[in-house]
Amino acid sequence: MDNYIVSARKYRPSTFQSVVGQKSLTQTLKNAIDAGKLAHAYLFCGPRGVGKTSCARIFAKTINCLHPTSSGEACNECESCRAFNEQRSYNISELDAASNNSVDDIRQLVDQVRIPPQIGRYKVYIVDEVHMLSTAAFNAFLKTLEEPPHHAIFILATTEKHKILPTILSRCQVYDFHRITIADIAEHLLYVATQEGIKAEAEALSVIAQKADGGMRDALSIFDQIASFTAGNITYNSVIENLNVLDYEYYFRLTEAFLSANVSSALLLYKEICDKGFESQHFISGLSNHFRNLLVSKDIATLSLLEMGEATAKRYGEQAAKCDIRLLYKAMDLSNRCDLDYRVSNNKRFLVELMLIQICQLSMPTEPVEPKPQLQPIKNTSQHTATVAQPSASAVKPTTQAQPAPAPTPQNQRLSAQAYAPRSATPKPVAPRTGMPAPAIRINAIKTEQTTEREKRKKPFTQDALVAAWLKYANTIPDEVALFNTMQSHQPTLKGEIICKVEVESTIQQSLILVTKDALLDFIHNELENDYIDLETEIKVSNERRVSYSTGEILAAMKEDNPNLIKAVDMLHLEIE
Q: Is 364 helix (H, G, I), strand (E, B) or coil?
A: coil
The confidence score (pLDDT) of residue 532 equals 85
Q: What's the rounded Cα separation, in Å, for the pair 269 and 251?
A: 9
The confidence score (pLDDT) of residue 575 equals 67
Q: Is 152 helix (H, G, I), strand (E, B) or coil?
A: strand
For the chain, the first-to-last Cα distance in angstroms comes to: 100
Which has the closest alpha carbon to 288: 326, 244, 338? 338
| Contact assessment for residue 234 and residue 186, using Cβ atoms and an 8 Å cutoff | no
Q: Determine how many CB atoms are found less than 10 A away from the CB of residue 534.
A: 19
Strand runs labelled E in 137-296: 152-158, 173-176, 199-200, 233-234
Q: What's the rounded Cα separation, in Å, for the pair 520 and 537?
A: 13
Q: Which CATH architecture has domain 182-242?
A: Orthogonal Bundle (1.10)
Q: Determine how many CB atoms are found less than 10 A away from the CB of residue 460.
A: 9
| Contact assessment for residue 291 and residue 332, using Cβ atoms and an 8 Å cutoff | yes
**What is the residue extent of each domain of the chain?**
7-176, 182-242, 248-361, 449-539, 545-577
Give a three-class secondary structure readout of 555-576. HHHHHHHCCHHHHHHHHCCCCC
The confidence score (pLDDT) of residue 552 equals 61
Which has the closest alpha carbon to 134: 165, 94, 95? 165
Per-residue pLDDT of the chain (577 residues; tens, 9 = 90+): 467 888 888 889 988 988 998 899 999 999 999 888 899 999 999 999 899 999 999 999 999 888 888 888 888 888 888 888 888 888 888 888 888 888 988 888 888 888 888 777 899 999 999 999 988 999 888 888 888 888 999 999 999 999 998 989 999 999 999 999 888 999 999 999 999 899 998 889 989 998 888 899 999 999 999 998 888 889 988 898 888 888 889 999 999 999 999 999 999 999 999 998 889 999 999 999 999 999 999 888 888 888 777 788 888 999 999 999 999 999 999 999 999 999 999 999 999 999 999 999 998 876 554 555 554 555 544 444 334 444 444 443 444 444 444 444 444 444 443 443 444 444 444 444 444 444 444 444 444 444 444 577 888 888 888 888 888 888 888 778 788 888 888 888 888 778 888 888 888 788 888 888 888 888 888 888 888 888 888 887 555 445 444 566 666 667 666 777 777 777 777 766 5
DSSP-assigned letters across all residues of 264-333:
HHHHHHHHHHHHTT--HHHHHHHHHHHHHHHHHHT-GGGGGG----HHHHHHHHHHHTTS-HHHHHHHHH
Fold of domain 248-361: Zinc Finger, Delta Prime; domain 3 (1.20.272)
Q: What's the rounded Cα separation, in Å, for the pair 99 and 96?
A: 6
| Contact assessment for residue 17 and residue 185, using Cβ atoms and an 8 Å cutoff | no
Q: Determine how many CB atoms are found less than 10 A away from the CB of residue 421.
A: 9
What is the separation of C-alpha 149 from the centre of its chain, rounded to a whole number of angstroms?
A: 53
The confidence score (pLDDT) of residue 152 equals 92
Q: What's the rounded Cα separation, in Å, for the pair 35 and 57?
A: 19
Look up residue 535 and give its DSSP letter: E
The confidence score (pLDDT) of residue 412 equals 43
Q: Which CATH architecture has domain 449-539?
A: 2-Layer Sandwich (3.30)
C-alpha dihedral, 469 to 472 to 476 to 481, nearest 10°: 100
Sort strands 92-96 and 123-128 into parallel, antiparallel or unpaired.
parallel
Question: How far are the Cα atoms of 128, 172, 292, 387 from residue 396, in angstroms, in the given order?
Answer: 88, 88, 51, 18
Fold of domain 7-176: Rossmann fold (3.40.50)
The confidence score (pLDDT) of residue 272 equals 92
Residue 134 has φ and ψ, to the nearest 5°, of -75, 165
Q: What's the rounded Cα separation, in Å, for the pair 96 and 167?
A: 21
Q: What's the rounded Cα separation, in Å, for the pair 269 and 258?
A: 12
Question: How far are the Cα atoms of 21, 278, 323, 466, 492 from residue 462, in angstroms, in the given order?
Answer: 80, 60, 53, 6, 12
The confidence score (pLDDT) of residue 174 equals 93
| Contact assessment for residue 361 and residue 261, using Cβ atoms and an 8 Å cutoff | yes
Q: What's the rounded Cα separation, in Å, for the pair 335 and 331?
A: 6
The confidence score (pLDDT) of residue 449 equals 47
Q: What's the rounded Cα separation, in Å, for the pair 493 and 514?
A: 16
Q: Is 344 helix (H, G, I), strand (E, B) or coil?
A: coil
Q: What's the rounded Cα separation, in Å, for the pair 130 and 157?
A: 6
The confidence score (pLDDT) of residue 555 equals 67
Which has the closest alpha carbon to 63: 96, 85, 33, 35? 33
pTM of the model: 0.58
Phi-psi region of 353 (alpha: psi -120 to 50; beta: other; left: phi over 0): alpha
Q: What's the rounded Cα separation, in Å, for the pair 216 and 50?
A: 6
Beta strands across the sheet bearing 499-504: 493-495, 499-504, 534-539
